[in-house]
Amino acid sequence: MIDDSKPIFMQIAELIENDIISGVLAEEAQVPSTNEFAAFYRINPATAAKGINRLVEDGLLYKKRGIGMFVTHGAPQRLRGARREKFQQQFIAPLTAEASKLGIGVDELVAMIKTGSDT
């Protein structure tokens, strides 16, 4: 949900991106309106609009005049590609840093990941 770590419009954009990646919002599906987002998250409607507009600028959503916002065809693939690029920095780097602090070697780490992904 919404927290204080960064501007709310960015958080709204990320929430929608997550829903697109996970398939909750399918390609060509209609996205809730600005006012629905505002009411649901209890935020200023202008802020919600700013978050949605950012995704429109990025080409992930598009507007059908008089109807609403929809997920662009191909948006999930594009988002996944962008997230993969960030994966190394966001997840692998802190993981290896913590592992080396604890004296966990690369082989052991790999083994742990394998065990973890089996469950």
Partner 1 sequence: MSQSTAIATRELTKTYKDVRALDNINLDLEAHRIYGLLGRNGAGKTTLMSILTGQNYPDHGTALIFGHEPFEHDPTLSRICFIRESQKYPEDFKVHQAFTAAAMFFENWDEQLAQNLVQDFGLPTKRRIKKLSRGQLSAVGVIIGMASRAEITFFDEPYLGLDAVARQVFYDRLVEDFAEYPRTIVLSSHLIDEVANLLEHVIVIDKGRIVIDADAEDLRGAAVTVTGEAAKVQEFIGAATVLHRDGLGALSSVTIKTQLDADRREQAKLMGLDLSPVSLQQFVVRSALSETATATGEKTEARS
Chain residues binding partner 1 by CB under 8 A are: 2-9, 34-35, 38-39, 41-47, 50, 89, 93-94, 97
The least CB distance from residue 2 to partner 1, in Å, is 6
**Residue 1 or 118 having the CB closest to partner 1:** 1
Least distance between partner 1 and beta carbon 59 (Å) = 23
* Residue 7 vs 59, nearer CB to partner 1: 7
Chain mean position to CA 3: 15
Q: How far is CA 87 from each of CA 3, 50, 92, 103, rounded to the nearest angstrom?
A: 22, 26, 7, 23
**Least Å distance between CB 106 and partner 1?**
18
| Minimum CB distance to partner 1 smaller for 2 or for 110 | 2
Distance CA 27, CA 74 (A): 7
Residue 63 forms beta bridges with which residues?
69
CB 20 within 8 A of CB 71: yes
